Amino acid sequence: MGWSGTEGPDWVERPAHRLWLLDQARGLFDLFRPALDPAGGFHPLDLRGQPLGGAAGRLRQIHDTTRMVHCYTLARELGLPGADRMIDHGMQTLWSRHRDPRHGGYVWSFDPDGPVNASKQAYGHAFVLLAAASARVAGHPDADRLLADVGEVIRHRFWDAAAGASREEFTEDWHPLGPYRGQNSNMHLTEALMAAFEATGDAEWLEMAERIARLLIDRHARAEHWRVPEHYDADWRVDRDYAGDPMFRPAGTTPGHALEWSRLLVQLWHLGGQRESWLREAAEALFLRTVEIGWDRRAGGFYYTLHWSDRPDREDRFWWPCAEGIGAAHVLRHSGGDARFEGWYRRIWDFVADHFLDRTHGGWFAELDGDLRPVERVFRGKPDLYHAVQACLIPLVPPTASVTRGLRAASRSLLVAH
């Protein structure tokens, strides 16, 4: 597994490491600036950081638009020139191209000819809420309009008050698309609900986030010995045999999602005044279980998915589980965790630096095969700014809030350890 000593001050206590993190984040923001498409939305980028061609280059998906808005609010909080243009463009795209003025809600994708996939997805609406909340923290003039609109849709179309979680998907005119329920959309909704609570002070958003966490983690993940079940039926019974889209609904369990939950639970614990002690306990248990079963002890990196027996299912390594592991290790270490979390923080960053950072064209490779060579099987090019830049910025702020709110509070002292 490699040596990972923890002697001396934690890395985030060292100015050189904090400067390195800021430099990595700045490079990512620079890499994604050419993504802006004046005709609407943001281009997906190829491995060289240039707009993709072909049909894939024409498609604009809602999670890409929303994440760009969220990420460039982080750039704005850092004081990086040019961020406002990216935010304005993304906010306009959400309102004029993704928003459905006839039926309400936000369509999944469009191209220059109009909507391509007009379905209404919980996953996409979670990210609209995150973008709106982040834009509100940044003071964007259209943030309240977007926040009110998507908030109404989430409350009245997606939220299942009896279950304490979100319904999954609907047609363009709001007919249910089946009984499937998913943890992935609800995990990202938890992230967005916390951001909305921070942006508005409305306790309803926090209560909804806590209910999702109780259902998916305190009930289901605890019962599965701290594995996070991905797929459910309409009554929230685990569906172990489900195998859907390899990007959004892979079979088995997904170590990266357990790491993501670990970080979110720590934030939820802090935002709730640390009154629900199980959140801190569960965050640590999820992390330690995941690094035990999900990390390749020979070559390093997290397997993408595991069978229920904990054997690797898809052995390719994606960039985002490492990004989430970095954030989780940091917040656990700085919320009372012991040196094990510092060791994992260093180990994961070492792996990223050795294998995911593209030293030629910038950014991170999205996928590595079992021999740790870059491949393009599920993802093409440089598909995402969101995970990588948050891995760089979360360690720079206290673990008590989202990275957006944390940067606002820490903007004058980012090179000083907290």
**What residues are annotated to the active site?**
257, 387
User: How far apart, in whole angstroms, are the C-alpha atoms of residue 56 and residue 94?
Assistant: 19
User: How far apart, in whole angstroms, are the C-alpha atoms of residue 17 and residue 395?
Assistant: 10
Task: Give 163-175 as a DSSP string.
Answer: TTEE--EE-TTS-
User: How far apart, in whole angstroms, are the C-alpha atoms of residue 323 and residue 356?
Assistant: 10
Grouping H, G, I as helix, E, B as strand and the rest as coil, residue 181 is strand
φ, ψ of residue 123 to 5 degrees: the values are -60, -50
The answer to whether residues 10 and 342 touch, using CB atoms and an 8 Å cutoff, is yes
58 — alpha (psi -120 to 50), left (phi > 0) or beta?
Answer: alpha
Tokens at 272, concatenated = 């709730």
The answer to whether residues 404 and 134 touch, using CB atoms and an 8 Å cutoff, is yes
Tokens at 65, concatenated = 């638009």
User: How far apart, in whole angstroms, are the C-alpha atoms of residue 43 and residue 6?
Assistant: 41
Grouping H, G, I as helix, E, B as strand and the rest as coil, residue 61 is strand
**Cα–Cα distance list, 334 to 156, 258, 302, 339 (Å):** 37, 19, 23, 10
- Angle among Cα 200, 413, 338 to the nearest 5 degrees reads 85
Minimal CA–CA distance to 185: which of 161, 167, 197, 170? 167
Tokens at 369, concatenated = 């095969």
User: How far apart, in whole angstroms, are the C-alpha atoms of residue 62 and residue 98?
Assistant: 7
**Residues whose CB falls within 8 Å of the CB of residue 375, separated by 6 or more in sequence, listed in order:** 316, 367, 368, 369
> How many Cα neighbours within 13 Å face the side chain of 363?
25
> How many Cα neighbours within 13 Å face the side chain of 298?
5
Tokens at 105, concatenated = 């809600």
Q: Can you tell me which residue has the tokens 């609900």?
A: 193
> Pairing relation of β-strands 169-170 and 120-121?
antiparallel
